[in-house]
Amino acid sequence: MAACALLLLGKKYRGGRNITDTLFELRKFVAPEFIIGVDARRLAGRYAKNFGANHVFLVTGPKLIKAGWVGDVTESLESEGIQYTIFPDVSPNPRDYEVMNGAELYKKKGCDAVIAVGGGSPIDCAKGIGIVVSNEQHILEFEGVDNVSIPAPPLICIPTTSGSAADVSQFAIINDTKRKVKIAIISKKIVPDISLCDPVPLTSLTSDLTAHTGMDALVHSIEAYVSNASSPVTDIQALESIRLISAYLPLAYHNPDHIGYRYKTMLGSLLAGLAFSNASLGAVHAMAHSLGGLSDLPHGECNALLLESVIDYNFEVCPERYETIAQTMNVDCSSHDPQEIKQKLLSALQALRTELGITERLGDLGVSRENIADLAKSAIRDPCLATNPRKPTVSDLEHIYEGAL
């Protein structure tokens, strides 16, 4: 993975200071254009016109249509004289066949651009549809890093959760229904053209979705910060994301109609997405992908339940990074004792989960010890593990799963 290949400069610089980080390394970053603010969704028609679209393929879900957010988008398309076809057949964990069905309908209708309205599932499905259409290959053939040859048609994203950040990332996660695993597609060719980040649709999120997607965003930023492909740029984004989400997610959870709190969580999710898209992720996401593929569990909930066990495993190789995360979450680190700081950080994350109503463990969700060997074998092949700060074995992953049961 290009984003994972770090060249650590072990050289002397200015007064003999030993450089052991990546401050002077040449790095490349990818990010789409984005607009954030109230009613950003209503700009969809204008941007579709800017991209020269005549017939938009709109990927979404039934609940979002019912909530009225899709209607706002189609109204903006109509105002610009742009035709559209709505594709609402997307599962919470998008399936390979859903992508292929969408691509077939896209071609049948003669579409020339894509709009995704929704959380990570519709957006990832839309990304998949775009590359299938442009490359004329099955979606599963793009698994891995840099396997997309031809860019997708223009893609406009309107995220309706503050969690996945698929609207700004070079990642797409698709469920391989035959193997029962989630595959990761990582390519700069699937970075959306623009994201219209509007906090208003977040007010229709259920409390569970608020909690699960918000924790997904927090895990994005934590994993990006401790990633072995982190950088000064992604560090700034990740830490500000951690600060925003840890402070405002509980407030948004308890006050779902408060636009100010929703805006802060959306901003936190956006920054987390920019961070992990360029620094990648780690063991939490690799293991959550495995869980989601086998059991079809909510992705954000899987992340939340695995986070503490993974931190416990990773902590010894980058304690200073985790101490900075703890400080950003307002955890008292005055002792500077690594073990004490680790326990305080884990306690703070557990308290946050509890406040958000995520009190179960993996065993409560139907995961058993009999599943662990298969889960670990699947997770060890996930590309997100390449940037975990500590390189785990299959046995290590089994122990982490056991710790979260």
- Return the pLDDT at 295: 84
Instruction: Report the alpha-carbon distance of residue 26 to residue 171 in Å, rounded.
Output: 22
Question: How long is the chain?
Answer: 405
According to DSSP, residue 95 is labeled: B
Q: Can you tell me the mean pLDDT for 189-205?
A: 96
- Return the pLDDT at 23: 62
- Return the pLDDT at 15: 33
pLDDT band per the 50, 70, 90 thresholds, residue 21:
low
Per 3-state DSSP, what percentage of the chain is helix, strand, and coil (rounded to 5)?
A: 55, 10, 30
DSSP string across 88-112: ----SS-BHHHHHHHHHHHHHHT--
Q: Are 392 and 380 in contact (CB under 8 A)?
A: yes
Prediction pTM value: 0.92
Task: Identify the weakest region by mean pLDDT among 7-21, 106-120, 135-149, 192-206.
Answer: 7-21
pLDDT band per the 50, 70, 90 thresholds, residue 212:
very high
Q: Can you tell me the mean pLDDT for 169-182?
A: 92
pLDDT digits (tens, 9 = 90+) for 213-269: 999 999 999 999 999 999 999 999 999 999 999 999 999 999 999 999 999 999 999
Q: Are 278 and 188 in contact (CB under 8 A)?
A: no
Instruction: Report the alpha-carbon distance of residue 179 to residue 150 in Å, rounded.
Output: 26
According to DSSP, residue 152 is labeled: P
Q: Can you tell me the mean pLDDT for 77-82?
A: 98
pLDDT digits (tens, 9 = 90+) for 300-345: 999 999 999 999 999 999 999 999 999 999 999 999 899 999 999 9
Burial environment of residue 5 by CB neighbours within 10 A (0 to 12, 13 to 18, 19 or more): exposed
Q: Can you tell me the mean pLDDT for 387-400?
A: 98
Q: Are 106 and 116 in contact (CB under 8 A)?
A: no
- Return the pLDDT at 1: 37
pLDDT band per the 50, 70, 90 thresholds, residue 293:
confident
- 215, 214, 220, 225: which is closest to 322 by C-alpha? 225
Name the one residue in this structure whose structure tokens are 């450089």.
Answer: 19
pLDDT digits (tens, 9 = 90+) for 83-128: 999 999 999 889 999 999 999 999 999 999 999 999 999 999 999 9
Residue 91 structure tokens: 């599962």
Instruction: Report the alpha-carbon distance of residue 278 to residue 198 in Å, rounded.
Output: 23
% of the chain beyond a pLDDT of 70: 94
The residues with which 59 forms a beta bridge, in sequence order, are 87, 116
- Return the pLDDT at 294: 83
- Return the pLDDT at 13: 28
- Return the pLDDT at 209: 96
- 101, 110, 49, 106: which is closest to 80 by C-alpha? 49
- Return the pLDDT at 376: 97
Instruction: Report the alpha-carbon distance of residue 259 to residue 70 in Å, rounded.
Output: 19
Residue 297 clears pLDDT 90, i.e. is over it: no
Task: Determine which helix (DSSP H) or strand (DSSP E) holds 12, and give its type and residue range.
Answer: strand 12-13
